Amino acid sequence: MKILIADDHDLVREALGSLIEKEPDLEVDHAEDFDGAQARIDAAGPFDLVLLDWTMPGMRGLDGLADAIRLNDGKPVALMSGTATRSVAEEALAAGAAGFLPKTMASRSLVSAIRFMAMGEQFAPVQFMTEKEPEQAASPLAAKLTERERQVLEGICAGQSNKEIARDLDLQEVTVKLHVKTACRKLGARNRTQAAMIAKDEGLV
């Protein structure tokens, strides 16, 4: 079976790839962002299973999932994440994901889940999908942002350029630049990269 791992964290790719390669009937390929995953699917696919990190550059949420399913000729595509909530997992499964893998899963369970999904079954850990999500206090920064600024931050966190964000939100690029500037000021960020980090840490996106 051919497995593609797409994740922007080197350690995650290497650790998971090493785990999979220990299995005699599994071979693994890698990509560090969504564009790289597209390139590998075009060059070597379709894969028996594609694993996509939910927050890697270029992912674009469920839109990226849908694109990957189409590119992989309908073969299984699953999400993995260390931060996504149960609601994200539920939406992904409803949108056709082969499964959802929390990065906290034990090694042997991960391999079993990968085999399960590659065989065409849908997988999500029962405990993750049924445990009560902790209530989180709203960040004081959330009140400072307009809905449009939050949408622009979501695009930045997804690795989009101002031009791509403008296209998706049906705005002028200069307007997006203004929203980026004001969002950075409100968050106390020096640049868009730091703004994205603060937004993620504070749960704003």
pLDDT, tens only, 39-93: 999 999 899 999 999 989 999 888 999 999 999 999 999 999 887 788 888 999 9
Task: Please report the pLDDT score of residue 130 as a whole number.
Answer: 79
What count of Cα atoms within 13 Å lies in the side-chain half-sphere of residue 51? 28
Q: What is the pLDDT of residues 146-155, one digit of tens each?
A: 888 888 988 8
Residue in the block written with tokens 């998971």: 16
Task: Please report the pLDDT score of residue 12 as a whole number.
Answer: 85
Question: Is 3 a residue whose pLDDT tops 90?
Answer: yes
Using alpha carbons only, how large is the chain's radius of gyration in Å?
Answer: 18
Q: 2-130, superfamily in CATH?
A: Response regulator (3.40.50.2300)
Task: Please report the pLDDT score of residue 138 as a whole number.
Answer: 54
| Backbone φ and ψ of 113, nearest 5° | -65, -40
Average pLDDT, the chain: 88
CA distance 42 to 75: 13
Domain boundaries, the chain: 2-130, 142-201
The structure's pTM equals: 0.65
Question: Is 137 a residue whose pLDDT tops 60?
Answer: no
Assign domain 142-201 to a CATH class: mainly alpha
